[in-house]
Chain A
């Protein structure tokens, strides 16, 4: 390239590196330091205090249960929707738009929307009332009904964040040349065989990144649960928030944050292992 200095690319990436160093790497290290510091001394005291906290194990359990229930549901639903949209001819644009609207909706707003539906005298109960299933306002979101509260969070999460998986999968499907499916069709594959032997393997990279992104974000779930149940359903990030804001204890909050960062990283590694993407096996 004429008249271009060899330093130009470094000059171009430098600002973003600097930024990521200050706002990603540094606070990352800082979290670890804070988590292991009590009163200026290096100590595992924050972790001991966190583990002894009444809410810690329920928060762990709830967070993992949410991830384990929500993520597979979202992927299955998004995959179904992506395949449905592939076949669509009329009205495809409008359906695409509708199905992707939740992508722009915050977890807080999603929690509030489902609060309107699931609250004691909300729309869900109204439907049940008209069907004769219940006789009056009924509570689903209190600490007395942990199971229904949990599923309320699951529903709100599936409602809100399936769109992200859907968009990634549709984009991935668009990258697969049509000829592969046609070849499979000509060589006798039924629609299911085509999906199983051709589409799904070629969609692996998109599936992988959807799973990584969604799992990491699901570990971060916070406002949905908070909007629906307050602290009735404790989860890890929510506890970090409480320790930081209400209890003013940065050390324990940092310990919680450390746990979240660790499980996120672990889940990413798991997905990278489980779904092996071999670049040379892609078109």
Chain B
């Protein structure tokens, strides 16, 4: 091995460690319980780690409910963004229509703003219409975050499916919707599934809007933020670990699509 090669390989390994070590350490913190948190100096091996600490955390009042609310909000966000976004993506991919550029601009404009901030005026409205403090209300705001992504991704997913396939289906007797259901949808499905997972992760991770829009029916992030100041460190780490685990699994699930999805949205 040349010196360059050694440098390169160690650079890669250092960067891998840079990502993985904090995750490992929050796991140690979350599983270490009360004793682990106050230990000094710290052990780097999982000697005191046990699932008990995590189970204790889950039994705290409100944690389960918050996790449940997070799953509901994220699930709804996922459904909303694909149901609203995929048809729009299909329209962008297959039709040339007046106003197309304006629509594209509207979607891209959302990127110029941190949309979660817009939960602020919505709290007032939500209180009035009864959406305040419900997972549905949170999901609606999160959908605004995920929808532009869903539109752009599905547009290029559909663009990547040759129009000829659909035309062939028409020629051989499919109706318009029939051709979509039989030909286009199956081909776009893996990409759409990945988009769904992204929408889920966006909602699962969002803190600001969820914190403003809930008070008793908190999502997990909102709950953790609210109790952050008064909760002992090991509960914080357990909460952090609970937030991290699904994300890591989801990213693993969509790893094949990650780059095509993001490449797509930037063209």
Contacts and interface: CB of A to CB of B under 8 A. Distances in A.
Task: State whether these chains interact.
Answer: yes
Interface of A: 1-4, 6, 8-10, 12-13, 15-17, 19-20, 23-24, 27-28, 30-31, 33-34, 81, 84, 87-88, 93, 95-110, 112-117, 119, 121-123, 125-126, 129-130, 136-137, 159, 163, 167-168, 170-172, 174-175, 205-206, 209-210, 212-213, 216-217, 219-220, 222-223, 226-227, 230, 237, 240-241, 244-245, 250, 253-254, 257, 260-261, 264-265, 268
Contacts of B201: 104
A159 B19 contact: yes
B16 A95 contact: yes
B248 A108 contact: no
Contacts of A253: 120
Interface string B229-267: 100010011011001100110111001001111111111
B88 interface: yes
B258 A103 contact: yes
Interface residues of B, number: 99
Interface in B202-233: 204-208, 211-212, 221, 224-225, 228-229, 233
Nearest to A266: B112
B193 interface: no
Given A13-B88, A27-B118, A108-B243, A101 B42 contact: no
B181 to A, nearest CB: 15
B23 A101 contact: yes
Contacts of B119: 27
Contacts of B239: 112
In the complex, which of the residues A12, A96, A206 has the most CB atoms of chain B within 10 Å of its own CB atom?
A: A12
A112 B113 contact: no
Contacts of B212: 241, 244-245
B25 interface: yes
Interface stretch (B52-60, B141-149, B184-192): B141-149
B147 A19 contact: yes
A100 B26 contact: no
Given A19-B147, A31-B121, A261-B117, A174 B259 contact: yes
A159 B22 contact: yes
Contacts of A250: 120-121, 123-124
Q: Is the interface of B mostly helix, strand, loop or mixed?
A: helix
Contact of B12 (A84, A122, A220): A84
A169 to B, nearest CB: 9
B63 interface: no
Given A112-B26, A168-B266, A16 B88 contact: yes
Given A159-B22, A219-B114, A115 B236 contact: yes
Contacts of A121: 38-42
B248 A98 contact: no
Contacts of A106: 204-207, 221, 243, 247
B11 to A, nearest CB: 6
Contacts of B243: 105-106, 108-109, 112
Given A97-B251, A101-B247, A112-B240, 4 more contacts: A20-B148, A28-B113, A171-B263, A175-B263
Contacts of A168: 262-263, 266
Contacts of A117: 22, 25
B121 A230 contact: no
B132 interface: no
In the complex, which of the residues B23, B25, B147, B208 has the most CB atoms of chain A within 10 Å of its own CB atom?
A: B208
B151 interface: yes
In the complex, which of the residues A95, A108, A245 has the most CB atoms of chain B within 10 Å of its own CB atom?
A: A108
B172 interface: no
Contacts of A163: 19
Contact of B87 (A13, A81, A241): A13
B39 to A, nearest CB: 7
Contacts of B175: 3
A250 B123 CA distance: 10
A268 B111 contact: yes
Given A23-B118, A223-B208, A240-B120, A9 B244 contact: no
4 closest Cβ pairs, A-B complex: A171-B263, A112-B240, A104-B247, A106-B205
